[in-house]
Amino acid sequence: MKKLSLHLHRFSAVQVAIFLLILGVFSGIVFANVFQNSYRSQMQLYEENIFSDIRALKINYSGLFSYILWKNLKEYAIFWLLSITILGIPYMAYKTMFFGFSTGFFISSITMQFGFKGILLIIAYVFPQGLLYLPIAVICLYKGFSLCKMMYYENRNQLESRLKLIAPQLMLLVLLAIVILIGSFLEAYVGSFLLRKTLQLFS
């Protein structure tokens, strides 16, 4: 515990997050390039079958919206529940590095498989909901890190004092949840439409 606390004071949260993100992205790119032969057939299967199914099938937008919203809110709730435990900071470190790895792997594998069209596919996959999801993720990491650090690595307060630290964050949590709802709506209705149109380039 003391060693971790010293490390937290030596480096800022932003520095650690950037390092883990870059490390994750680099690892994802390397993994995608080294093991591309093992998943190339899967990518071809997606192009030949899954992509054509998405283009042909009628999208149930309301059902898709419910699924995306539930998935996002569940992940959001898990993040904040863990943020108020001693596992909060290790969990945030894992999420940051995993996001970097997934991003690096996804971008590398798509561009290697589809070239320039792959870039369009990546943009269609994250737009426009990514414009909301990214700021939410940054705010959650910053606020969650600060809260967990105050509760367990600085003051080590009793339960009553910890509740006082959590209370001022409740309004922010509600606002972020509303933004998640908006982002989920955009992903289900706008994002899926744009993705479907983009996939027509792969026919």
Joined together, the tokens standing for residue 44 give 């071809």
Query: What is the structure's pLDDT at 8?
Result: 46
Query: What is the structure's pLDDT at 3?
Result: 47
Query: What is the structure's pLDDT at 1?
Result: 44
Query: What is the structure's pLDDT at 161?
Result: 63
Considering only CA atoms, which of 74, 71, 64 is closest in space to residue 189?
64
Residue spans of beta strands (DSSP E) within 55-142:
none
Give per-10-residue mean pLDDT for the chain (203 aa): 47 79 94 79 65 71 93 95 88 93 91 83 90 93 86 62 75 95 95 85 69
Q: What number of residues does the chain have?
A: 203
Domain carrying residue 74 = 2-202
Q: Phi/psi zone of residue 157: left (φ > 0), alpha (ψ -120 to 50 degrees), beta?
A: beta
Considering only CA atoms, which of 200, 6, 180 is closest in space to residue 79?
180
Query: What is the structure's pLDDT at 166?
Result: 77
| Count of domains for the chain | 1
Joined together, the tokens standing for residue 61 give 């937008």
Query: What is the structure's pLDDT at 11?
Result: 55
70-103: buried (b, 16+ CB within 10 Å) or exposed (e) per residue? eebeeebeebbebbbeeebbebbbebbbebbbeb
Rounded Cα–Cα distance for residues 169 and 99 (Å): 24
